[in-house]
Structure 1
């Protein structure tokens, strides 16, 4: 659906990431970002509610001879509770439900990094992708304010970008991106 190349936010976040460890790709779909990270040595878990997307992810990882853990889950309820596992990297790219954001720091080990991207309210009506429901779009500094308690901001962007990740939605998109780290002290 989105091709095989990793999202630009993942590539932009590389200088901020800790050494490869455990990564949770929340709403990771077909696994393009997870596959990229696995090739860099990350142990990845892809969680998504779309079983068909996870099946494509399994085939991609098998073709690349890489290991992955796939979780079919109701993501909206899964992210509200206390996590059973902690990760060095929490990746959330275009997951439109907001329930994950206030608990993001809980999923990270000390020193772990959150990499997130979503569509801004300015994207509404542009016709180049993103949700048509405005409640799934981020307002100015909203992602920044909700996600960062307990985290130190390393990168924040809220702007128009030219990305052609999805062949069905070519053209400029207004996105918000956040890279933030949990303190090493915990």
Structure 2
């Protein structure tokens, strides 16, 4: 199935939102470690659960996702919260973003398993900016608690570390089994990889 079509269907058929309204618990837990609110790129941000939350905290957020249905939902959620959200429907792996001079204080890739985007993020960050990545590890294969079931998509051990070092300074890294989550689609134990890294000032 075409990737864009798959996500259009998922978002369009959701009764409310496909992934729920609460931001990532990892994002919430590391807020004190992030730069002061500035410009944020939410890569593959879908329905905007993280983007809307950050916008409510004073961030200027650009949400980019390939699914129009998800981006439209994000817009409605932002309007309901009374916050502004910049939205673009695009495939970031094919977009010229970054080469056009875009720079951000924070780049998010939550459940967006893109090696190309993580590798390019160092070029998109301003000095002192942060990259936050959260996704599923190879150990998630066969588990019913969500995430891709394709080993070509899931993160390998230490893969994120190899992608960001030595260009970024790793602030937080974990690769472990997580018992609970904020996400209604990912109930039950799941194996996650989480990274927070900063570009030197």
- TM-score interval w.r.t. the shorter chain? over 0.9
| Matching residue within 111, 114, 122 for 2:139 | 122
Q: How far does the alpha carbon of each residue in 1:147-172 deviate from its partner, in whole angstroms, 9 at most, with x for none?
A: 23310000001001123333243101
Q: Pick from 155, 158, 173: which aligns with 1:138?
A: 155
The answer to whether 1:47 aligns with 2:64 is yes
Cα distance in structure 1, aligned partners of 2:178 and 2:20: 18
CA RMSD in angstroms comes to 1.4
Return the alpha-carbon distance in structure 2 between the equivalents of residues 23 and 133 of structure 1.
29
Alignment of 1:158-177 (within 5 A): 158-177=175-194
- 8 Å CA contact 1:79–1:99 kept in 2: the answer is no
The one of 71, 76, 84 equivalent to 1:67 is: 84
More strand by share: 1
Q: Please point out which of 83, 87, 102 is paired with 2:104.
A: 87
Structure 1 residue runs of 4 or more that deviate by more than 4 Å after TM superposition: none
Confirm or deny: 8 A CA contact 1:154 1:181 kept in the other structure.
yes
> Is 1:148 equivalent to 2:165 in the alignment?
yes
Aligned match for 2:114, one of 97, 122, 128: 97
Cα deviations across residues 101-156 of structure 1 (Å, max 9, x unaligned)? 21110010000000101100000001111101101111111111112331000000
Q: What is the aligned residue count?
A: 184
What TM-score do you get using the length of structure 1 for normalisation? 0.94
Unaligned stretches of 5+ residues in structure 1: none
Aligned to 1:106: 123
